[in-house]
Amino acid sequence: MDAKPVVVGVDGGPDSLKALAWAADYASTVGAPVIAIAAVETPAVVGPYAMAGWVDPEVLEDRARTMLADSVRDTLGDEAQVEQTVIRGHPAEAIVTASQDARLVVVGSRGWGGFRGLLMGSVSQHVVSHAHSPVVVLPRHSEDA
């Protein structure tokens, strides 16, 4: 059994849920633990209108924890053995940092943001370029686009 975990980035979108399922399946075949990561990026807001759109970072983290727990439960079931981690910061950097101790990193090709039709989103591109471990990027099937 390899103690190094399989790390998977989860944002609640369909590609990340596919990545979560794939990561759990792979981890079970190699006897590795799974760490699901959600990142909360708190926007820097300055100026007189800053308070108008401001959301407490604690609220954002709570929402991310709920999304992550729901994603794991809905994708893998109630009995899934997955460590769930919410990190403050940019999603790509959070995943790259976690890759330092990982056996493998798994991400979906596209997240919630960005432009339709791109092969990979900015997070998956950054992770592929900077990860300290092998990376699997699950493709979006044409019928999902």
Which tokens go with 118? 């791109």
Q: What is the dihedral of CA 108, 71, 32, 81, to 10 degrees?
A: 180
Which comes out higher in pLDDT, residue 6 or 111? 6
Collapsing DSSP to helix, strand or coil, 86 comes out as strand
- According to CATH, what is the number of the domain 6-10+21-28+36-111+120-144? 3.40.50.620
Which tokens go with 52? 């108008």
pLDDT digit string, tens, across residues 31-81: 999 999 999 987 666 555 555 556 678 888 999 999 999 999 999 999 999
Question: In the chain, count of helices (H) and strands (E)?
Answer: 4, 5
Output the pLDDT for position 103. 97
Output the pLDDT for position 115. 41
Residues 101-105 have a mean pLDDT of 96
Output the pLDDT for position 109. 85
Residue 100 exposed, middle or buried by CB count within 10 Å (0-12, 13-18, 19+): exposed
Mean of pLDDT over the chain: 85
Collapsing DSSP to helix, strand or coil, 108 comes out as strand
